Structure 1
């Protein structure tokens, strides 16, 4: 069973940090700098989990998730944002995210959430 994660984040330093954390835990990780790039990449490289920022140029995380759900994409989505409010959290869940984290957060928490997804999936 694959264990692939896509990081969708416009900040290169944040992408590198997430990549380091997740590859160190044994996951296959690939990246996209915004929602449009992520959709293009998913056409040729499917993944199990997407960790996406909410606010990005070209296409943000909410529109990415809406597009994925319209395509019936079976991918687990964790949305992260530095601009979290109760309203943006509701918007994210309505769009179809599975989990929502407000920055700053403990990177170990992100890793735990990814690990929990893969553990649940392997246990059926």
Structure 2
């Protein structure tokens, strides 16, 4: 049995189902040629990373179990080629500082501009 070649994946990590659906729709329209994988926990995201090439991971910050910053630390240690965007409605200078220290590539505060998200995605995926 032969394994099918898979497109690289973009992982969306969000514990709120409605927001995850919206993010998926946005990403689907912006990222032709990439599989969009949605998960509702950092642990699930790490599972996907062990199986797939993932140039981009977009994660909420406040989630049960592991925060977006903690996820970023693991990703930057174990998957150095994966870019990370943290989105949060609870941005404080300390949260942003901690995320930057963890190695986050982009930090977006909700509500964020879809134009800004699109610009970041194009930069990360080399479509500028």
TM bucket (normalised to shorter chain) is: 0.7 to 0.9
Instruction: State the TM-score, normalizing by the size of structure 1.
Output: 0.88
Query: Does the CA-based 8 Å contact 1:9-1:52 persist in structure 2?
Result: yes
Query: Does the CA-based 8 Å contact 1:7-1:32 persist in structure 2?
Result: yes
What is the aligned counterpart of 1:88 among 72, 78, 95? 95
Query: Does the CA-based 8 Å contact 1:5-1:50 persist in structure 2?
Result: yes
The alpha-carbon distance between structure 1 residues 61 and 19, as it changes in their structure 2 partners (threshold 3 A), is same
Q: State the distance in 1 between where 2:62 and 2:115 align.
A: 22
- The structure with the largest alpha-carbon Rg is 2
Query: Does the CA-based 8 Å contact 1:3-1:118 persist in structure 2?
Result: no
Q: Which residue of 1 aligns with 2:51?
A: 44
Query: Does the CA-based 8 Å contact 2:61-2:86 persist in structure 1?
Result: yes
Q: Which residue of 2 aligns with 1:21?
A: 26
For the aligned residue pairs, the C-alpha RMSD in angstroms reads 1.7
Q: Which residue of 1 aligns with 2:17?
A: 12
CA deviation vs aligned residue, 1:54-112 (integer Å, no higher than 9, x gap):
11012111111111122253200011111001111111000010010011111232122
Runs of 4+ with deviation above 3 angstroms = none
Q: State the distance in 1 between where 2:42 and 2:78 align.
A: 14
What is the aligned counterpart of 1:74 among 77, 81, 87? 81
Q: Map of 1:43-62 to 2, 5 A cutoff?
A: 43-62=50-69
Unmatched segments (≥5 aa) in structure 2: 1-6
Q: Give the C-alpha shift of residue 46 in structure 1.
A: 2.6
